[in-house]
Amino acid sequence: MRNPMNLVGGLFGAGFGFVLAAARLHEYDTIHETLKLESPYVFGLMGLAIGISLPLLWILERRQVATVYGGRLALSRSKIERHHIVGGVLFGAGWSIAGTCPAPALAMLSSGATYGAVAVVGLFVGLWLRDRQVAAGTGGASIGDGEHRDLQTTPAGSA
């Protein structure tokens, strides 16, 4: 393989999708039972995921660990801005109505639920609509947070 990061990406994506489907997070009922506060499942899952990764990342950051393909480990922290709150309100409303979120929607589709395709298409449309505004300079910046930063150059084979 020319770029080992592709394999890494594929494997981590597969692990992620596997856990989501095994936890049935791609089912409307799993999400809604938590959002109706009838089951602690999703909150417990997220809480434990954070509970494990936050201290480990903190330690790794303090030790200035060198990552395999991405240079020295660097966590990113952003200040709270208006777009986080407004975006969070919109995301939360959509999450509740569609009963799924971006990664579980893919697992929903691959589990055989055809409405998963509707959710995936809708997500693409929504992301694209906002991205157009950002590109046109009317939407303000929304890159630079935990998620939307990306490895620009991958030193292929230089591990």
Residues 59-98 that bind another protein (CB under 8 A): 60, 65, 67-81, 83-98
Among residues 71 and 157, whose Cβ is nearest to another protein? 71
**Distance of closest approach, residue 83 Cβ to another protein, in angstroms:** 5
Residue 115 dihedral angles phi and psi, to the nearest 5°: -65, -20
Residue 72 dihedral angles phi and psi, to the nearest 5°: -70, 140
Euclidean distance between CA atoms 81 and 148, whole angstroms: 15
Tokens standing for 114? Answer: 């055809």
Euclidean distance between CA atoms 26 and 116, whole angstroms: 9
Residue 99 zone, left/alpha/beta (φ > 0; ψ -120 to 50; rest): left
- Per-residue binding letters, 98-137, with another protein (x by CB under 8 A): xxxxxx-xxxxxxxxxxxx-xxxxxxxxxxxxxx--x---
**Distance of closest approach, residue 123 Cβ to another protein, in angstroms:** 4
- Per-residue binding letters, 20-59, with another protein (x by CB under 8 A): xxxxxxxxxxx-x--xxx--xxx-xxxxxxxxxxx-xxx-
The residues that bridge with 66 in the sheet, in sequence order, are 72
**Distance of closest approach, residue 4 Cβ to another protein, in angstroms:** 9
Interface with another protein (CB under 8 A), residue total: 126
**Distance of closest approach, residue 37 Cβ to another protein, in angstroms:** 7
Longest CA span, the chain: 50
Binder of another protein out of 63, 145, 155, 158 (CB under 8 A): 145
Tokens standing for 156? Answer: 């292929």
**Distance of closest approach, residue 137 Cβ to another protein, in angstroms:** 15
